[in-house]
Amino acid sequence: MRKVILPIVLPWQRLLPAALCSALMAAALTSTTAVSHADTLKQSLAAAYKYNPRLDAERARLRATDEEVARAKSGYRPSINGQADITGQDTRTRPSGINNGGNTSKGYSINLVQPLFRGFQTTNAVNEAEAAVRAGRETLRDVERQVLTEAVTFYMDVVRDQAIVRLQESNVSVLSRELKATQERFAVGEVTRTDVSQAIARRAGSVSQLDLAKANLKTSRASFERVTGNPPSNLSEPAVPEKLLPKSLEEATAIGIRENALVVAALYREQGARYTVDRIRGELLPTVQLEASYSERFDPSRQIEESETGTVAGRVNVPIYDAGGEVYARVRQAKHTHVSRMQEIEQVRTEVRQSVIAAWSQMQAARAQLVSDQVQVDANRTALSGVREEEKVGQRTLLDVLDAEQELLNAEVTLATTRRNLIVASHNVLAAMGRLDSLTLGTVGQIYDPEQNYLETRRKWWGLSITHGDGRRETVDLWDSHGRHQPVK
């Protein structure tokens, strides 16, 4: 049972505005009931990798694609059929009316067909299926990139929105004190009603901004939980992954057009399209197969008690003009598809290059903006201190102080947003390069290994189960006994 701690209103709290008291109480209550799930970005990425249903769905889809290899390899294997029957027969001869009597026969037969040569159709079908599996693995890697990108984005959204809420709460507190002080000064005739109205209006606007910031934080928290499976708690601002980033835009672009999952998947799809052309063309070549059968019948007639028959035959089929030219049309169709796949490779490469340049530009802009924003915050803080001192000696008005406070708040909110943008942009660079994955980031000790299911599936001759009887998982351990990270071999 969760222990609920009721907030106690102390005497000094009655002097604070109601909105500020409510915020402090909510913060205290939240801190007592929060459950820590993912404090760092690395832990959040690990949670997204382990529990995101989109990744699990894509892994299952890849395992289904693995079965295409088993289907293609069935062309190498024999097909065996068995049948049995029981037949009753009664014979009458007319017009003599002679009844020759009835007979009940029964028997069974086994037939085997072993393909020997199918015009290279089976070989090309297997190569086509394996290319589809490799393309599917790259699609899985791209889905992983998308999921981890979302996790980074929503993580930083929560960090940013939490900072904005703290800034807005602090601003409400400051403006509440300003309002109280202004009301006290108005009571003794030091300021006018206009000053009081300005303070009231500015505080009301600040409370409104605080409500909006809290709503935005709730939205970010919900998005974070959708991706990682855990509600955010005690999130800390991460550092830029400098060690993983390239030194220049040219290096990033070269890596992207070589390692991005979309580019590699397009290459495998083009490879599969070439094998498709060869597979269909194989339907125009001769086929050779071995046929064997064995049958045994009991009481085939009233004179014969039992008979056995065994046959072995070799059959060659030579297509001369098959299906009215339908095969020729499919070959031409497959060739056009292959040409389209080659163009898709160039298209994806240009898109990846554009994505890398855009992400790199955003990262560089965020770096420069972060420096400027920090200078702006420091300058506004100094200016606010000076305006307050000048207001005390009558050289500035209350409105000048309120404006200076608002400028400082805006600068601090902009700084928090820029910090968020820099972290997200740096990870977007990794994503565009094709290196935003759990293996490169080292976020988990075990990664999903699609090779295990593939090797097991391609060797299967029969079986309906899709689970492992010994409880194995398709993962490979990446940590040695000393806790050091090991690369996949």
> Residue 267 carries which side chain, given as an amino acid letter?
L
Give the pLDDT of residue 486.
45
pLDDT at 122: 93
Q: Please check whether residue 255 lies inside any domain of the structure.
A: yes
Q: What end-to-end distance do the CA atoms of the chain give, in Å?
A: 47
- Name every residue whose Cβ is closer than 8 Å to that of residue 322 and which is 6 or more positions away in sequence: 283, 284
Place of tokens 């800390």: 236
Same domain, 25 and 61: no
Mark whether 250 and 330 lie in a shared domain.
yes
- Domain assignment present for residue 484? The answer is no
pLDDT at residue 125, rounded to an integer: 94
In a domain, 97, yes or no: no
pLDDT computed for residue 101 by the predictor: 63
Contact present, 140 and 56 (Cβ < 8 Å): no
CB count, 10 Å around CB of 188?
7
**482 lies in some domain:** no
Pair 137, 26 in one domain: no
* Burial state string for 84-114 with b = 16 or more CB within 10 A and e = fewer than 16: eeeeeeeeeeeeeeeeeeebebebeeeeeee
Rounded distance between C-alpha atoms, residue 248 and residue 260, angstroms: 17
Number of alpha carbons in the 13 Å side-chain half-sphere of residue 293: 14
Same domain (yes/no): 161, 24:
no
Does residue 1 lie within any of the structural domains? no
Task: Note down the domain range covering 358.
Answer: 37-85+102-477
Give 407's contacts (C-beta < 8 A, 6+ positions apart): 380, 383, 384
Q: Note the pLDDT of residue 134.
A: 95
Residues 200 and 250 occupy one common structural domain: yes
Give the span between the Cα atoms of 261 and 254, in whole angstroms: 14
Q: Are 150 and 25 in a shared domain?
A: no
Verify that 67 and 166 share a domain, yes or no: yes
Is 94 part of any domain?
A: no
Give mean pLDDT in consecutive 10-residue pieces for the chain, a chain of 489 residues: 36 38 39 47 91 92 93 92 86 62 83 93 94 95 94 94 92 88 86 88 91 94 92 88 93 94 95 95 93 88 81 92 86 95 95 96 95 93 89 83 89 93 95 91 86 86 71 48 40
Residues contacting 209, CB < 8 A, separation 6+? 168, 171
Report how many domains make up the chain: 2
In a domain, 462, yes or no: yes
Number of neighbours of residue 173 by Cβ within 10 angstroms: 18
d(CA 381, CA 74): 75
Task: Indicate the residue type of 340.
Answer: S
- For residue 469, the model assigns a pLDDT of 55
Q: Which CATH number fits the domain that encloses residue 77? A: 1.20.1600.10
Q: Check residue 28 and give its pLDDT.
A: 39
- In a shared domain, residues 20 and 124: no
pLDDT of residue 446: 84
What pLDDT, on the 0 to 100 scale, is given for residue 25?
39
pTM: 0.80
Q: Are residues 212 and 357 in the same domain?
A: yes
Paired sense of beta strands 79-93 and 98-117, if any: antiparallel
10 Å CB burial of residue 447 (0-12, 13-18, 19+) is middle
127 and 72 in a common domain = yes
Whether 32 and 158 map to the same domain: the answer is no
> Do 53 and 134 lie in a common domain?
yes
List all residues 6 or more positions away from 376 whose beta carbon is below 8 Å from its beta carbon. Answer: 411, 414, 415
Determine, yes or no, domain membership for 435: yes
Instruction: Identify the DSSP state of 479.
Output: B
